Structure 1
Amino acid sequence: MTVSRRFAQVDVFTAIPLMGNPVAVVLDGEGLSDAQMQAMAAWTNLSETTFVLPPTQAGADYRVRIFTPKTELPFAGHPTLGTAHAVIEAGLATPRAGRLVQECKVGLVDLTVGADRLSFRLPRYALTELTDPEATAWINAPVKGAAQAVDVGPVWLVAEVDGIDALENLAHDEARLAAFYVPKGMTGATLYAAEGERVVVRSFAPGDGIPEDPVCGSGNGAAAAFRLAAGQVGDGDSYRASQGRQVGRDGWIDVRFEGVDIHIGGQCVTVINGTAQI
């Protein structure tokens, strides 16, 4: 038997509808089975679909489960911001002193709610150097230094491409990338290039049915952790990254550093409000 459930689709990392990265949000997911959640995520065919549930941990304002079309994720960036935006709009949670706490599989995630944007603090991250040349053999562009496996909940292969033009016009082998990262249980690859104040990011997860993620929060968090570990940025620094133009979007991601803490933020806009029959 199907139930009518509140539903929203939110564009993240933009204030302009259709120019960011959409996330589908089922606002009353209680009572759905794992199989139903996965089926809904496959049906929306977005990079992620989330399900809002009552919290189970003290201090959390709500709980969220995050699914790609093929699997559940312990954490993801743009679904975190989009879900928080939808939860606030629906009146399911009210920020206290500009703060919300989200519960997900990776644990509790702190969010800051501003006048026109939200941000989250990466709950944790760890880096492991990738010495296998296959880690970057799929990239037909010059790469600076070694790639890293950056664990931010999802595990991203992160590498720095030498030059923004080389990244924007990247030629790459999707099959070779998937053959490298999928057997290792990784999420995909995030590449970035920086020239002065300008930072451009691209994220790929072809093994999960996502040839290119339009604007990726966890991927940008992984790139930020890579840059922090490499000494390219430090405590008190901030920058704004661009992502999505290669797939017809125009996303902007705000990155801020407080000691070893990394904050990822941006604007959100609701494109669809309604109900889903699940």
Structure 2
Amino acid sequence: MSRRFNTLDVFTHTPLAGNPLAVVHDAAGLDTAAMQTIAAEFNLSETVFVLPEVAAGHRADIRIFTPGAELPFAGHPTVGTAIMLALMDGLAPGSRTEFVLGEKAGPVPCRVVRHTDGRAEATFTAPRLPAETGPAPDAAQLAGILGLEVRDIGFDGHRPGRWGAPVSFCHVPVRTRAALDRIRVDTRWFAETFAAIGEDHPAIFAYSRETVDPAAAFHARMFAPGLGIAEDPATGSAAAAFAGTFARFDRPPDGTHAVSIEQGFAMGRPSRIDLGVTMAGGVVTAVTIGGGAVVMAEGRLAV
């Protein structure tokens, strides 16, 4: 048996930039162990499996795997899969469509737009609002994990915290982009420090206000060695959780706010994530994640 697959570069409109993604279209008969093995074979940040059984009202139900673990939800797989399925459905330039993807975290409403020049973008509503997931390691511990100085941690009142929507990340504010570029992760200290606070699959989303693109609000890097991801070029689930950090420390007024996050520059894979945060009564009431994607390859798996 062979199974169709595509690869895409996500959170970009430029081939060989953004975050690579594999989408396996024919997942009938694959169990969890087989999906995990195939994801390890692709060795990308995430691989999506489109399931044969589809819940009522869903365009597709999907499962998402890193090389080391399954995730209940992830951003760049949602954006990339939504665009891939819309293109397979024949979405014409100058058109848009809406549908729901079923993920383990819950139903995810998606909107896909194909511009007249052929570029495609997807925006989805996060299945859960950001919530704190526990205490963060202190600044000295985080500086040690990242190979930085304690003085590099924090700016404008921003402090480290752990947030999930629902996937948990430790958000670490870093004073300068130069310090972000200096990060060298100590994977052993990383695992030991987070194990001590009960985090089995820790991930760090380090960010700064100093950006490459003046139109961006934040510059970020993400590290999750326990999930088999040494560094990720663009992390939509971390951006969804970051809505909680943004709301707490920047205190935006009620209304919807567009927050552009650039990521992947240190890897030579520049990416842009469009985070939308809706505030009402001083709290986050909705989160959206958007971005582009380009189809890079198609083929068949011999399994």
TM-score, normalisation: structure 1: 0.90
Q: What is the aligned counterpart of 1:122 among 119, 126, 143? A: 126
The C-alpha deviation readout for 1:228-264, integer Å capped at 9, x for no partner, is 2323445321121111011111111111122321111
Q: Which residue of 1 aligns with 2:244?
A: 225
Distance 1:4 1:119 in 2: 31
Q: Which residue of 2 aligns with 1:238?
A: 258
Structure 1 pair 54–203 and aligned structure 2 pair: CA distance change class (3 A): same
Q: What is the root-mean-square deviation of aligned Cα atoms in Å?
A: 2.3
Distance 2:121 2:252 in 1: 23
Q: Which residue type is aligned with residue 106 of structure 1? A: A
Q: Which residue type is aligned with residue 184 of structure 1? A: E
Q: What is the aligned counterpart of 2:24 among 26, 35, 38? A: 26
Task: Name the stretch that deviates more: 174-183 or 160-169.
Answer: 174-183
The C-alpha deviation readout for 1:39-60, integer Å capped at 9, x for no partner, is 1011111111110014543322
Q: Which residue of 2 aligns with 1:272?
A: 297
Contact 2:161 2:245 in 1 (8 A): yes
Distance 1:58 1:159 in 2: 40
Q: In structure 2, the residue corresponding to 1:237 is in which secondary structure?
A: strand
Q: In structure 2, the residue corresponding to 1:65 is in which secondary structure?
A: strand
Q: In structure 1, the residue corresponding to 2:67 is in which secondary structure?
A: coil
Q: Which residue of 1 aligns with 2:194?
A: 181
Contact 1:129 1:146 in 2 (8 A): no
Distance 1:27 1:187 in 2: 29
Q: What is the aligned counterpart of 2:286 among 261, 271, 275? A: 261
Deviation at 1:110, TM superposition (A): 1.3
Q: Percent identity?
A: 34
Q: Give the unaligned 5+ runs of structure 2.
A: 115-119, 280-284
Distance 2:68 2:238 in 1: 18
Contact 2:96 2:113 in 1 (8 A): no
Counterparts in 2 of 1:189-200, with a 5 A limit? 189-195=204-210, 198-200=217-219
Q: In structure 1, the residue corresponding to 2:27 is in which secondary structure?
A: coil
Q: Which residue type is aligned with residue 38 of structure 1? A: Q
Q: Which residue of 1 aligns with 2:12?
A: 14
- 1:249 partnered with 2:269: yes
Counterparts in 2 of 1:134-173, with a 5 A limit? 134-135=141-142, 137-139=144-146, 140-141=148-149, 142-144=152-154, 145-173=158-186
Q: Which residue of 2 aligns with 1:105?
A: 104
Aligned length: 275
Contact 2:68 2:226 in 1 (8 A): no
Distance 1:77 1:228 in 2: 19
Q: What is the aligned counterpart of 2:60 among 40, 44, 62? A: 62
Distance 1:99 1:240 in 2: 23
Distance 1:215 1:123 in 2: 19
Distance 2:242 2:183 in 1: 17
TM-score, normalisation: structure 2: 0.83
Deviation at 1:164, TM superposition (A): 2.5
Q: Give the unaligned 5+ runs of structure 1.
A: none
Distance 1:49 1:36 in 2: 12
Structure 1 pair 53–128 and aligned structure 2 pair: CA distance change class (3 A): closer
Q: In structure 2, the residue corresponding to 1:184 is in which secondary structure?
A: coil
The C-alpha deviation readout for 1:177-234, integer Å capped at 9, x for no partner, is 2223355124411111114854101100112221111111112222232112323445
